[in-house]
Amino acid sequence: MATSSAVREYNRTSFTQDRPQRGQDPPSQDFHPALHVGMPAPDFAVTDLDGNTVRLSDFRGDKHVLFEFGCITAPVFVGDVPTLNRLHAKFHDDGVQVLVVYAREAHPGERYSFHTSFEQKLSHARDLQRLEKIRCPVVVDSLEGDAHHLYGLRASPVYAVSKDGLLVYKAGWLVPEEAELVLSQLVLADQAQAEGGRTRNVYSERLTPLVADYAGHARVFARAGKGAREDATRALGRDPAAAPQRRA
């Protein structure tokens, strides 16, 4: 069956550097200015690994949700998995749901190529969960990337949504300490309110440098298959898996 133009446009055959496109600003700025913390989180429908439909709104009134978009060929996301597992273990019993939303392949290669069918995408997601030992639920976005478009077409954006359905955290990449602080404050607020206490909301912004994991990039590129590392090097003008030489 022929794929639609929307599917072909979204599922890139090779890596290209982030650039302004639908719902996205350059990486050095706000990557999705249409969404701000404090506003209602747009609902989306995704599919779990057993084929069941899961909606963000399913958790409303019951659990806070932290979710990160990712895929098996995204080195930075794969490096985030231990943190996501830790956050899931720490907060799961405190009314917090951590989710991985499987998006398009960031660095498609011969082993894990760009998606042409939902069954293929679901298979890649199952491999990701198994190979990286992901403990939180993995859910799969549509073949056209409907949820990904709603939340910004960066490789691995991260959001937290309070149980009343408001966006409370937004980041272009996962910052472990920030995400943990946000979830901790949500849990503390729940406890305070249950005891009759009062809380107040505080808005903040932050620009945070993150250190590159060169070995992690090399591992994920090798798993993706031939061409993934070369495509990234061509698009970026440098090899993202090659550690820079120390200065004398």
Q: Provide the pLDDT for residue 17.
A: 61
pLDDT digits (tens, 9 = 90+) for 68-89: 999 999 999 999 999 999 999 9
Provide the residue ranges of all domains of the chain, joining segments of one domain with +.
5-200+208-236
Does residue 107 surpass a pLDDT of 70?
yes
Q: Provide the pLDDT for residue 20.
A: 41
248 confidence band (pLDDT: 50, 70, 90):
low
**Phi and psi at residue 151, to the nearest 5°:** -110, 15
pLDDT digits (tens, 9 = 90+) for 167-210: 999 999 999 999 999 999 999 999 999 999 999 989 988 888 88
Does residue 146 surpass a pLDDT of 80?
yes
**Residue that has been written with the tokens 């290669």 in this structure:** 109
* Whole-number Å distance between alpha carbons of 24 and 81: 24
> For 5-200+208-236, CATH number?
3.40.30.10
pLDDT digits (tens, 9 = 90+) for 211-247: 889 999 999 999 999 889 999 999 888 999 998 877 6
CB 105 within 8 A of CB 112: yes
| Contacting residues for 190 by C-beta, under 8 A, at least 6 apart | 94, 95
Q: Provide the pLDDT for residue 244.
A: 84
CB 18 within 8 A of CB 155: yes
Residue type, 243: A
